[in-house]
Amino acid sequence: MSALPNCPQCQSAFTYEDGLLYVCPECAHEWPQAAPAAAEEESKVWRDANGNELKDGDSVTVIKDLKIKGSSSVVKVGTKVKNIRLIDGDHDIDCKIDGIGAMQLKSEFVKKA
């Protein structure tokens, strides 16, 4: 619902929108429309070991041998990982590694390829 706010000056409920302003027809008060309720959250930035910004779809290189939990496999240093997906969490990169499958990495252990 996009109910219009009451006039902050006289509490009139008959405000209307005029461009980027709200206008009160009763006291002629005009004021800027507030930012949308669903204001953009401060966007999180993922950075690799060198501080470069990472984006969905980037390719990265693993910079240290990483043991895979629950298996004897190791992601070797230098492994190239294509098409990463950034996620929230302790391990903040979701990806698929050739020969290993889907797994999650920490951005601090990769660098942008």
- Contact set with Zn ion (CB under 5 A): 7, 9-10, 12, 24, 26-27, 29
Q: Which residue's CB is nearer to Zn ion, number 10 or number 113?
A: 10
Nearest to Zn ion of 22, 46 (CB atom): 22
**How far apart are CB 27 and Zn ion at their closest, in Å?**
3
Helix (H, G, I), strand (E, B) or coil at 83: coil
Q: What is the largest CA-CA distance in the chain?
A: 75
Backbone angles phi, psi at 107, to 5 degrees: -65, -25
Rounded to the nearest whole angstrom, what is the least distance from the CB of residue 20 to Zn ion in the complex? 18
| Phi, psi values for residue 108, rounded to 5° | -70, -15
Closest separation in Å from C-beta 14 to Zn ion: 8
Nearest residue (CB) to Zn ion, 19 versus 99: 19
Q: Collapsing DSSP states into helix, strand and coil, what is residue 61?
A: strand
3-state DSSP assignment of residue 95: strand
